[in-house]
Structure 1
Amino acid sequence: MTKSYLRIILVTSLVSLSACAQQTEVRQMKSEVGSLNKEMTQLTDQTVKLTQQNALNAKSTTGVYLLPGSKTPARLNSQIGNLQMSLSSITQEANGSRVMLIIKGESNDPLPAFTGKVEWGQIQGTTDNYQEVNVQSQQFDAPASVLAPSDISIPLQLSGLSPNQPGFVRIHDIQPVDPSQALPAQ
């Protein structure tokens, strides 16, 4: 009788343990599904921003548009050569955002010292028919780079534009400090 009693306890314990294991697996599966849903939402948002950025740049005749959240560089043909520009390290500040403008030269030559203009604001409407509102601007200076290919980081303070607002950043008027270093127009 003791052996049958032990068998019953053993079988009951195994059934209980297997039920616990299934609950743990279900919880783990729910957690993984939640993580995947979050990643899909982030990828969808990034895809929308990238599509908008590409549409704005296709129509732009001056400068290059960068949309916070697109996480993709845009190409600008400037007086100092072709440049890849992107935004990173976007953080909330008391009256707006702080971002890092990353500028990479595409040539094998170091970039000369240059100046440029950054404008930012909000976009209302669609990418086919839009208006820029609450536009602000500032000049920036970049030092000459020593290494090639060049990679320059410029911190920007974008007042009035929080990281979660549908806004834009446009970079234009890139000019060498020394006019003799300007490349011929293409």
Structure 2
Amino acid sequence: MTKSYLRIFLVTSLVSLSACAQQNKVRQMKSEVGALNQDLTQLSNQTLKLTQQNALNAKSTTGVYLLPGSKTPARLNSQLGNLQMSLSGVTAETNGSRGMLIIKGESNEPLPAFTGKVEWGQIQGTTDNYQEVNVQSQQFNAPASVLAPSDVSIPLQLSALSPDQLGFVRIHDIQPVDPSQALPPQ
């Protein structure tokens, strides 16, 4: 009788251990599927923002649009030559948002000191038929670069709109402080 109980105990233990191992694998798979869904949602949102950013820039006659969440630079032909603009680190602060505007020169010459204008706000409507609302603006100054290709980081204080309300940032009117350093229009 002891051997019989021992066999039943061993079989029951083996079945229990097998079930636990399978449940752990199921939990692990559920966790991996959840992480994958989160990554796909983030990638889908980034693709949507990039598509919107490209459409806005294709229609823009003044400056370049940067949409938070697109995580992709946009190119601006300015009086300093071609510049790549990107927006990073947009976070909430007490009275709105803050972020970093990164401007990269594409030439082999350092950038001279320059000024520009940044506008931000919300976009209502569709990419084909939109309206900018709650628009704010400010001037910025950038020092001359020493190295080439140049890379300038400008901290932005984007008041009145939290990161989830911030629909766009537009950079325009890039001009050298010394007008003699402007490049001819292309």
Provide TM-score, normalisation by structure 1.
0.96
CA distance in 2, matches of 1:108, 1:4: 85
The corresponding residue for 2:116 is 116
Does the 8 A contact of 2:86 with 2:101 survive in 1? yes
Q: 1:142 maps to which residue?
A: 142
TM superposition shift of 1:166: 5.0
What residue is the counterpart of 1:42 in the other structure? Answer: 42
- Which runs of 5 or more structure 1 residues have no equivalent in the other structure? none
Could you say what secondary structure the match of 1:135 adopts? Answer: strand
Q: CA deviation at 1:5?
A: 3.5
Percent identical pairs in the alignment equals: 88
Kindly provide the amino acid, as one letter, of the partner of residue 94 in structure 2. A
**Alpha-carbon shift at residue 19 of structure 1 (Å):** 0.1
1:10-159 aligned within 5 A: 10-159=10-159
Counterpart CA distance in 1 for 2:130 and 2:31 is 40
AA in 2 matched with 1:97: S
Any idea what the Cα deviations from partners look like across 1:33-84, whole Å, max 9, x if unmatched? 1111111111111111111100000000110000111110000000001011
CA contact (8 A) 2:73 2:84 kept: yes
Q: Residue 4 of structure 1: CA displacement?
A: 4.2
TM-superposed deviation, 1:140 = 0.2
In structure 1, what residue type is equivalent to 2:114? Answer: F
Q: Shift of residue 124 of structure 1?
A: 0.9
Aligned residues: 186
* Superposed CA RMSD: 1.1
Does structure 1 conserve the Cα–Cα contact (< 8 Å) formed by 2:118 and 2:140? yes
Aligned mates of 2:160, 2:122 — CA distance in 1:
10
CA contact (8 A) 2:120 2:166 kept: no
Alpha carbons of structure 1 residues 150 and 57: separation in structure 2 relative to 1, 3 Å: same
TM-score, scaled to structure 2: 0.96
**What is the CA-CA distance between 1:8 and the residue it aligns to?**
2.8
Q: Indicate how the Cα distance of structure 1 residues 113 and 166 shifts in structure 2: closer, same or farther if over 3 A, else same.
A: closer
Q: Does the alignment pair 1:178 with 2:172?
A: no
Task: State the alpha-carbon separation in 2 of the partners of residues 115 and 74 from structure 1.
Answer: 18
Tell me by how many angstroms 1:6 deviates: 3.0
Deviating above 6 A after TM superposition, structure 1's stretches of 4 or more consecutive aligned residues are none
SS of residue matched to 2:135: strand
CA distance in 2, matches of 1:20, 1:9: 16
